[in-house]
C-alpha cells in the first residue's frame, strides 16, 4: 500500500500531489496542491498551519484497525484511528503547531437505504468527531454525509480547501 | 431519448468480447471441462503467457523461487489464479479508457471492475459458494453497460445526475436516456452470447431478486454485495456517487457481519493497490470533475 509520506521540497512550478485511497501526504511546499479523488464513504481530512506553511491530506477508508486486520499488513492510512494521529505527527515534524491548525473534513457518504449494521460513512464520521472532541480540536469546515462523491483539495499557497462534486467546486475554507 | 438498441447500435465499433475470454467463459460454464483447458488457452497466447510468468515470479502471489517455464508457472499458480489473470488481462483494454460518461478518469472504471471481481470472489469463499471463478467473472463484467453508455453518450451523460441525493442514479439514467446501465449491460452481454446466468447477474447487480422470487440466485446476491463493497471501498465512484440501493435480503445476509465485510474491503483495497503498483497506474479512485 502506497503511503505518500512527507513531501519536503520547495518546487518552483505548481505541483499537484495526488493522495490515493488509504493514503496521506504532508508538505511545506507553498506551490503544491494536495488533492484526493472519489471520497465516498471514506473521509478526507486536511490540516494546515498558516504560519509554518505546513499542510497535510489524509484519505482513510475504515474507522478502526482491528487485531485481525493487523495480520494482513494493510496500510495504516486505511484506518482513521491510526492514520489521523499519524497525519498530525507528520505535520508537527515539519514545524506545524496544534494551536494554529486549520482542520477540514469531507466525505463520509452513505449508500441509499442502507439499513444494515455496516453504515461505514456514519461510523467514519463518528470516529473523527470523537477523536477531535477528545483531543480538543475543532473542525473549521465540515462537508460530510449525504450520498455524493467528492474530490477534496488543499492549496498550500493560501490554505484554501475546495470540494468538487458533479462538476461544481466550492471553497469550504476560508468561508 | 436513446433506447437500448440505439445505444448498442452506436457501440458497434466497440471492441467485441475478446476470443480468449469467450473461450474461458465457455469452460467455466461447462461442468464437464477441467482446468487443464484454461492452462492450454494461456499457453497458446504469448501475451497471456508473459502475464502468467510475471505473476508466478511476483511476490504478490507468494510463490518461492523463480521460474521462466510457462508449464511450471501454470502449475505453481493454480487454475483459479490463472483464470483471474487471463480474464483481467484480456478485459482491461475495454475498460481502461472508458468512464468519462460517469465523471471518471482513465483507469478508474477498470479499478471498479477489478475490485468487484476480487470482492465477489472473496464473498463466494467466505459464504461457501462453490463457484468463486464464476463470481470473479460476474464481478468483473457487471458494469459493461457503463462501457456502452460511455461510448454512446460520452461526457454529456456526466451531466444527468440530479441534485436529489435520495434518488437512485438508475432513476436519473432512465429519465435521461430511457434505460439504465444494468439493462444496457445485460443486452450487450446477450449480444456477446454470454450464458444467461451471467447476463442476469449483470441485469440484477443493483437489485437482485429476493429469496421468495423465482429468479432468486445466490450468484446475483454475491455480485450485488460485491458492487456495494466497491462503493464502500471508494472504487469506481464517479458522478453517480453512492446513489444505489442495497437489497435488504443481501444486507441481512452477505453484508450482516461487519468485521467480515471490513476484512473484505481492506483486502480488496490492498489487492487493487498491488495491481496499481504492478501496472504502474492508479486504479479505482475516480476523478470527480
Domain boundaries, chain A: 5-173
Mean pLDDT of A43-52: 98
Confirm if A69 and B266 have CB atoms less than 8 A apart. yes
Of B238, B245, B229, B42, nearest to B121 by C-alpha is: B229
Candidates A16, A118, A124, A163: best to mutate against B (most CBs of B within 10 A) is A118
Helix (H) or strand (E) holding B41: helix B35-43
Alpha-carbon gap: A148 to the closest alpha carbon of chain B (Å): 4
* C-alpha neighbours within 13 Å on the C-beta side of residue B17: 20
Q: Is the pLDDT of residue A64 over 80?
A: yes
B193 conformational bin, left if phi > 0, alpha if psi -120 to 50, beta if neither: left
Q: Is the pLDDT of residue A10 over 60?
A: no
| Pairing of β A23-27 and β A5-7 | parallel
Query: Which chain A residues are Cβ-neighbours of B165 within 8 angstroms?
Result: 146-148
Q: Is the pLDDT of residue B288 over 50?
A: no
The fold for domain B4-15+95-279 equals: Hypothetical protein af1432 (1.10.3210)
Query: Which chain B residues are Cβ-neighbours of A73 within 8 angstroms?
Result: 270
Which residues, 6+ apart, have CB-to-CB distance to B194 below 8 Å? B17, B25, B141
Strand order in the sheet with A43-49: A5-7, A23-27, A54-60, A43-49, A102-107, A141-144
Alpha-carbon gap: B192 to the closest alpha carbon of chain A (Å): 31
Confirm if B28 and B140 have CB atoms less than 8 A apart. no
Mean pLDDT of B84-97: 79
Distance CA B217, CA B208 (A): 8
The fold for domain A5-173 equals: 60s Ribosomal Protein L30; Chain: A; (3.30.1330)
Q: State the average pLDDT for chain A.
A: 88
Under DSSP, is residue A105 helix (H, G, I), strand (E, B) or coil? strand
Contact state of B269 with A114 under an 8 Å Cβ cutoff: no
Candidates A1, A82, A116, A123: best to mutate against B (most CBs of B within 10 A) is A116
Q: SS3 breakdown of chain A: % helix, strand, coil, rounded to 5?
A: 20, 35, 40
pLDDT, tens digit, for every residue of B125-157? 999 998 888 999 999 999 999 988 988 888 777
Q: Is the pLDDT of residue B277 over 50?
A: yes
pLDDT, tens digit, for every residue of B256-270? 998 899 999 989 988
Alpha-carbon gap: A95 to the closest alpha carbon of chain B (Å): 31
Q: Who among B158, B255, B285 is closest to A38 (CB)?
A: B285
Within 10 angstroms of residue B9's Cβ, the number of other Cβ atoms is 11
Query: What residues of chain B, 74 to 113, have a C-beta less than 8 Å from chain A?
Result: 103, 105, 108
Distance CA B121, CA B140 (A): 10
Q: What is the ipTM of this complex?
A: 0.87
At A70, is the pLDDT very low, low, confident or very high (cuts 50, 70, 90)? low
**Domain range summary for chain B, segments of one domain joined by +:** 4-15+95-279
Distance CA B199, CA B187 (A): 8
Query: Which chain A residues are Cβ-neighbours of B246 within 8 angstroms?
Result: 111-116
Q: Round the CA-based radius of gyration of chain B to a whole number and report it.
A: 18
Q: Is the pLDDT of residue B60 over 70?
A: no
Contact state of B238 with A149 under an 8 Å Cβ cutoff: yes
Under DSSP, is residue A114 helix (H, G, I), strand (E, B) or coil? coil
Reading the block at residue A63, the C-alpha cell is: 474507522
Q: Who among A40, A61, A110 is closest to B237 (CB)?
A: A40
- The answer, for B188 touching chain A at a CB cutoff of 8 Å, is no
pLDDT, tens digit, for every residue of A118-143? 789 999 999 999 999 999 999 999 99
Confirm if B103 and A164 have CB atoms less than 8 A apart. no
Q: State the average pLDDT for chain B.
A: 84
Contact state of B242 with A111 under an 8 Å Cβ cutoff: yes
- The answer, for B277 touching chain A at a CB cutoff of 8 Å, is yes
**What is the pLDDT at residue B289?**
37
**What is the pLDDT at residue A73?**
54
Contact state of B103 with A62 under an 8 Å Cβ cutoff: no
Helix ranges (DSSP H) in chain A: 67-70, 80-93, 120-134
Query: Which chain B residues are Cβ-neighbours of A150 within 8 angstroms?
Result: 288
Which residues, 6+ apart, have CB-to-CB distance to B19 below 8 Å? none
Distance CA A113, CA A120 (A): 13
At A100, is the pLDDT very low, low, confident or very high (cuts 50, 70, 90)? very high
- The answer, for B282 touching chain A at a CB cutoff of 8 Å, is yes
- The answer, for A2 touching chain B at a CB cutoff of 8 Å, is yes
Helix axis angle for B70-96 and B35-43, nearest 10°, is: 80
- The answer, for A147 touching chain B at a CB cutoff of 8 Å, is yes
Burial of B182 (0-12, 13-18, 19+ CB in 10 A): buried
Mean pLDDT of A32-44: 95
Per the listing, cell 493454480 goes with B78
Q: What are phi and psi of B253, to 5 degrees?
A: -115, -80
Nearest residue of chain B to residue A148 (CA atoms): B241
Please state which of the ranges A36-45, A121-130, B61-70, B92-101 shows the lowest mean pLDDT. Answer: B61-70
Mean pLDDT of B157-168: 80
Burial of B29 (0-12, 13-18, 19+ CB in 10 A): middle
| A–B interface: beta-carbon pairs under 8 A | 153
Nearest residue of chain B to residue A166 (CA atoms): B239
- The answer, for B280 touching chain A at a CB cutoff of 8 Å, is no
Residues paired with B245 in a beta bridge: A112
Reading the block at residue A47, the C-alpha cell is: 490540516
Amino acid at each position: 500500500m502506497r503511503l505518500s509520506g512527507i513531501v519536503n521540497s520547495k518546487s518552483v512550478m505548481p505541483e499537484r500531489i495526488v493522495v490515493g485511497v488509504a493514503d496521506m501526504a504532508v508538505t511545506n511546499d507553498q506551490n503544491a496542491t494536495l488533492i484526493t479523488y472519489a471520497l465516498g464513504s471514506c473521509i478526507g481530512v486536511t490540516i494546515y498551519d498558516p504560519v509554518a506553511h505546513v499542510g497535510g491530506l489524509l484519505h482513510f477508508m475504515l474507522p478502526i484497525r482491528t487485531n485481525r486486520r493487523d495480520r494482513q499488513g494493510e496500510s495504516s492510512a486505511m484506518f482513521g484511528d491510526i492514520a489521523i494521529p499519524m497525519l498530525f505527527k507528520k505535520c508537527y515534524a515539519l514545524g506545524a503547531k496544534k494551536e494554529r491548525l486549520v482542520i477540514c473534513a469531507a466525505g463520509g457518504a452513505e449508500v441509499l437505504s442502507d439499513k444494515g449494521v455496516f453504515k461505514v460513512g456514519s461510523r467514519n464520521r463518528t470516529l473523527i468527531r470523537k477523536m477531535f472532541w477528545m483531543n480538543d480540536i475543532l473542525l473549521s469546515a465540515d462537508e460530510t454525509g449525504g450520498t455524493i462523491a467528492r474530490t477534496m483539495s488543499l492549496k498550500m499557497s493560501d490554505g484554501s480547501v475546495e470540494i468538487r462534486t458533479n462538476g461544481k467546486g466550492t471553497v469550504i475554507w476560508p468561508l | 431519448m436513446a433506447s437500448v438498441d440505439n445505444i448498442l447500435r452506436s457501440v458497434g465499433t466497440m471492441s467485441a468480447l475478446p476470443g480468449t475470454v469467450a473461450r474461458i467463459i465457455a469452460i467455466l460454464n461447462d461442468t464437464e471441462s477441467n482446468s487443464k483447458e484454461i492452462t492450454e488457452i494461456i499457453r497458446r497466447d504469448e501475451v497471456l503467457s508473459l502475464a502468467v510468468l510475471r505473476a508466478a515470479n511476483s511476490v504478490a502471489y507468494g510463490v518461492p523461487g523463480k521460474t521462466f517455464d510457462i508449464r511450471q508457472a501454470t502449475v505453481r499458480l493454480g487454475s483459479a489464479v490463472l483464470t483471474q489473470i487471463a480474464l483481467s488481462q484480456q478485459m482491461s483494454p475495454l475498460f481502461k479508457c472508458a468512464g468519462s460518461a460517469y465523471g471518471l478518469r482513465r483507469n478508474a472504471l477498470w479499478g471498479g471492475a477489478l475490485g468487484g471481481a476480487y470482492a465477489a470472489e472473496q464473498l463466494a469463499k467466505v459464504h461457501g459458494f462453490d463457484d468463486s471463478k464464476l463470481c470473479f467473472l460476474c464481478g468483473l463484467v457487471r458494469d459493461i453497460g457503463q462501457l456502452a453508455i460511455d461510448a454512446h453518450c460520452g461526457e454529456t451523460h456526466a451531466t444527468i445526475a440530479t441534485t436529489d441525493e435520495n434518488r437512485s442514479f438508475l432513476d436519473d439514467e432512465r429519465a435521461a436516456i430511457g434505460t439504465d446501465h444494468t439493462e444496457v449491460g445485460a443486452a450487450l452481454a446477450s449480444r456477446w452470447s454470454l450464458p444467461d446466468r451471467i447476463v442476469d447477474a449483470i441485469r440484477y447487480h443493483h437489485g437482485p431478486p429476493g429469496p421468495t422470487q423465482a429468479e432468486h440466485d445466490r450468484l446475483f446476491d454475491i455480485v450485488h454485495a460485491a458492487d456495494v463493497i466497491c462503493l464502500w471501498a471508494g472504487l469506481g465512484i464517479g458522478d453517480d456517487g453512492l446513489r444505489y440501493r442495497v437489497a435488504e435480503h443481501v444486507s441481512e445476509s452477505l453484508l450482516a457481519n461487519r468485521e467480515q465485510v471490513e476484512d473484505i474491503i481492506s483486502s480488496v483495497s490492498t489487492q487493487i493497490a498491488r495491481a496499481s503498483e504492478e501496472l504502474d497506474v492508479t486504479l479505482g479512485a475516480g476523478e470527480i470533475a
